[in-house]
Amino acid sequence: MISLDSPVVAVLGDHARKRKAIEERLGLRTVEDLLRHFPRRYVKTGELSRIEELREGEVLTVVGQIASSTVNTYQDRRTGRPAYRVDVTVRTDGPSFRISLFAKNERMAAWQQEKRMPVGRRGIFVGKVSRFREDWQLTHPQVVLFGTPDEDAAQLSLDAIGEFYPIYPLTKGVDSWDLQRAVAFALTVVDDVPDVVPPEVRERHGLLDVRTALERIHNPDDRAQITSAQRRFRFEEALVTQLVLARRRRAVRELGGRARTGADGGLLAAFDARLPFELTAGQLEIGAQIEADLAQPHPMNRLLQGEVGSGKTLVALRAMLRVVDSGGQAALLAPTEVLAQQHHRSITAMLGDLAAGGMLGGAAEATSVELLTGSMTKAQRTAPMSRLASGEAGIVIGTHALLEEKVVFADLGLVVVDEQHRFGVEQRSALTDKAGTPPHVLVMTATPIPRTVAMTVFGDLETSTLTELPAGRAPIQTNVVPLAEQPHWLARVWERVREEVDKGHQVYVVCPRITGDEPEQGETDQLDLDEDGNTLAPPGASETLNAVEEVAVQLAEGPLAGLRLERLHGRMPPDDKDAAMRAFAAGEVDVLVSTTVIEVGVDVANATGMVLLDADRFGVSQLHQLRGRVGRGGHPGICLLVSWAEEGTPARDRLTAVAATTDGFELSRVDLEQRREGDVLGRSQSGFRSTLRDLRVLRDEKTIVEARAAAVELLETDPDLEQAPDLAAAVAAMEQSVASDFMERS
């Protein structure tokens, strides 16, 4: 008896020898895994394939017709004996291909020509495209011919194939027809296929039952059947995902926590009264949402997203002050020391004497704001850690150093995580676990997230979005500098830098390397990937990337001689990094040559220029973040994307998209469309693969919205899914999986 839990070898038949490749490299260990391994596309068997464009080296799958078939004799160089080759020309609706089949003897060659490859026969041909003299050819071709006897394990009759032939995601040593035959057999012998989607949900949303959907997705008769089957499985995945997230939201509410109502509100009221500007409508609205969350007897779990410079830090600070007014403490976790120091400087500056608690000259309502980073010595840490443990310090800003076991809080009431995508769930938990009762959590990102990504990846968080920019933000002009076509334009780049400095402004020059081949810590090049996930340098790109140490010397001795240059990167001693940033912020430096450590949080109002060298090595969101460092003081900004990437390449298209708009939400969609589906946020931009199997957050937006509503409705009537045991089992499996861990990264 074969069931879904049976090992996949039970349905492999003649292909059992390929078991290792199928199980280990494709990850198909059970019959259910095989049936859930859906085709990535289909070729129509009833007509010749239409081919618009060919690229050498690509793997092509086409329906073609044999136009000619000849036997040629040649001398085998190894043995000196005659050898035989059947040369076949395959016609398509486009270019023709040559394929060569080798035979052991003359009789076998004649059989190949007359019986297997006769002129006029159609079939499916799979192979790598290459050029031989003036002809296109398919090397090492795999062939399935229509209407041949089933005497070869790879041959299938036209009846078995149907109107559309499925092309599956494959691995070396496994052909599409290996999987097609195994799937076809499995569908005939497996009787019981549990349906995860309850009947009432299927009926309400017009979905196929699981058995029908499996038949249609693997062996469709027309495009409509493919579409309806795909929709069913995408809805199923969205439903399970949204149920996992909805259950997590409910679990957080049931944890219980301390309401932070602000008590007399002295500190927050004093801060608001001293603000030299009006809060934006968005800041006021989201501030009210957060105040309502903090007043609840269960933990807040909110995602605050917004454009670069939209004022997220101010919103977070007001939330921290409200918690301090309630007798609690707040911790802000930053991903880098540069950013932590920047936050500490800006927050203490905004608070003024309100940050001087316990000090001479401090306001009556004041608290103290501490900084805690990994580079601080034991002696430097002692005093701030003591003030945290006693409750004297109301706010602490730090890096991963906050997570250390020795760091103790008197009453941790709010955790703010900046650039949350750089932290795993374990790190966030290490901080929240320091609270006596579950603290409120506010996570922030300046990487805009499309609605469906927020729903699918961070659906356990309530989401707030700051869309308007504060007054005083100036427009930024962005231009691509295409060195592949115009290498002499580089000289003009440095002239523009001088022009900005002559106006009394300052400029960033950003490089992808510290020195030689050494990257900034925690950074991964944002290169294009081939089909196997290997990185590809853009055509025309230099093998040696620009590095801070070398570029700073070249500029100081060459085109920017006489200007005040400083360098900044993660390998510098902490005091040197802090001194460099302070000097730049004070206007004592004209040009800061830096790595991406200035990507987020760095706020220098007088900086109006940004030059990104090897700009093709950064992702869309990272380019947008870096660009956001300029134009913050009311002066128009300029951003120059310098690249050797050639026109028409994905890398160049990425730069063109960034130059075309400063709308971060539009760019986030471009980023998702250009990249693999796992690249939804930060860490995934450095190589994380998607845990979503069939769902695509942009393409399937409508499906995700429908599934979210269905999930909420199901839990309202049946919180433990007792009436839908198969669905409950699927939800439990996802909750225990890597997918659940990925969704929880926030």
What is d(CA 654, CA 675) in angstroms, rounded to the nearest whole number? 10
Of the chain, the end-to-end C-alpha distance in Å amounts to: 45
Report pLDDT for 680. 40
Question: Which residue type is seen at 626?
Answer: L
Q: Phi/psi of residue 509, each to 5°?
A: -120, 115
Helix H or strand E segment including 552: helix 548-557
In a domain? residue 366: yes
Of 310, 288, 280, 332, which is closest to residue 440 (Cα–Cα)?
A: 332
Q: Which residues, 6 or more positions from 369, have their beta carbon under 8 angstroms from its beta carbon? A: 344, 347, 348, 351, 355, 393, 394, 395, 396, 397
In a domain? residue 696: no
- Do 497 and 643 share a domain, yes or no? yes
Q: Which residues, 6 or more positions from 189, have their beta carbon under 8 angstroms from its beta carbon? A: 2, 11
- Do 386 and 495 share a domain, yes or no? no
Residue 39 has pLDDT above 70, yes or no: yes
Residue 690 has pLDDT above 50, yes or no: no
Are 63 and 49 in contact by the 8 Å Cβ rule? The answer is yes
- 393-397, 460-464, 627-631, 705-709: which range is least confident on average? 460-464
- Do 611 and 556 share a domain, yes or no? yes
Mean pLDDT of 662-666: 79
Residue 563 has pLDDT above 70, yes or no: yes
In a domain? residue 681: no
Q: What is the count of structural domains for the chain?
A: 2
Residue 687 has pLDDT above 60, yes or no: no
- Do 607 and 527 share a domain, yes or no? yes
Residue 265 has pLDDT above 80, yes or no: no
Per the prediction, the chain carries an average pLDDT of 82
The better pLDDT of the pair 160, 126 is held by 126
In a domain? residue 489: yes
In a domain? residue 94: no
In a domain? residue 208: no
Residue 530 has pLDDT above 60, yes or no: no
**What's the burial of 112, exposed, middle or buried (CB within 10 Å: 0-12/13-18/19+)?**
buried
- 582: domain CATH number? 3.40.50.300
Q: Phi/psi of residue 709, each to 5°?
A: -65, -40
- Do 531 and 607 share a domain, yes or no? yes
From 630, 661, 692, the end of a domain falls on 661
pLDDT band at 256 (very low <50, low <70, confident <90, very high): confident
- Do 480 and 430 share a domain, yes or no? no
Q: Phi/psi of residue 59, each to 5°?
A: -90, 125
- Do 483 and 407 share a domain, yes or no? no
pLDDT band at 427 (very low <50, low <70, confident <90, very high): low
Residue 81 has pLDDT above 50, yes or no: yes
Are 64 and 125 in contact by the 8 Å Cβ rule? The answer is yes
Are 393 and 368 in contact by the 8 Å Cβ rule? The answer is yes
The better pLDDT of the pair 260, 650 is held by 260
Longest dimension (CA), the chain: 103
Q: Which residues, 6 or more positions from 188, have their beta carbon under 8 angstroms from its beta carbon? A: none
What is d(CA 331, CA 339) in angstroms, rounded to the nearest whole number? 14
Task: Please tell me what DSSP assigns to residue 469.
Answer: P
Report pLDDT for 677. 45
- Do 342 and 433 share a domain, yes or no? yes
Report pLDDT for 524. 40
Count the alpha carbons within 13 Å of 423 in the hemisphere toward its beta carbon: 25
Task: Please tell me what DSSP assigns to residue 547.
Answer: B
pLDDT band at 459 (very low <50, low <70, confident <90, very high): low
Q: Which residues, 6 or more positions from 429, have their beta carbon under 8 angstroms from its beta carbon? A: none
Q: Which residues, 6 or more positions from 556, have their beta carbon under 8 angstroms from its beta carbon? A: 563, 565
In a domain? residue 627: yes
Q: Which residues, 6 or more positions from 359, have their beta carbon under 8 angstroms from its beta carbon? A: 366, 368
- Do 519 and 615 share a domain, yes or no? yes
Residue 601 has pLDDT above 80, yes or no: no
Domain of residue 543, residue span: 476-661
Structure tokens at 54: 């060919």
- Do 387 and 503 share a domain, yes or no? no
Choose the most confident range, by mean pLDDT, from 6-20, 418-432, 441-455: 6-20
Q: Phi/psi of residue 323, each to 5°?
A: -70, -40
Report pLDDT for 384. 93
- Do 493 and 437 share a domain, yes or no? no
Counting residues of the chain whose pLDDT is more than 90, the rounded percentage is 36
What is d(CA 619, CA 156) in angstroms, rounded to the nearest whole number? 45
What is d(CA 28, CA 7) in angstroms, rounded to the nearest whole number? 9
- 126-140, 316-330, 386-400, 569-583: which range is least confident on average? 126-140
Report pLDDT for 277. 85
- 329-343, 511-525, 705-719: which range is least confident on average? 511-525
Report pLDDT for 421. 52
Report pLDDT for 16. 67
In a domain? residue 353: yes
Question: Cα angle vertex 542, ends 541, 545, to 5°?
Answer: 110
- Do 438 and 485 share a domain, yes or no? no
Mean pLDDT of 582-593: 94
From 631, 661, 691, the end of a domain falls on 661
From 609, 629, 661, the end of a domain falls on 661
Report pLDDT for 271. 95
Residue 416 has pLDDT above 50, yes or no: yes
What is d(CA 271, CA 290) in angstroms, rounded to the nearest whole number? 17
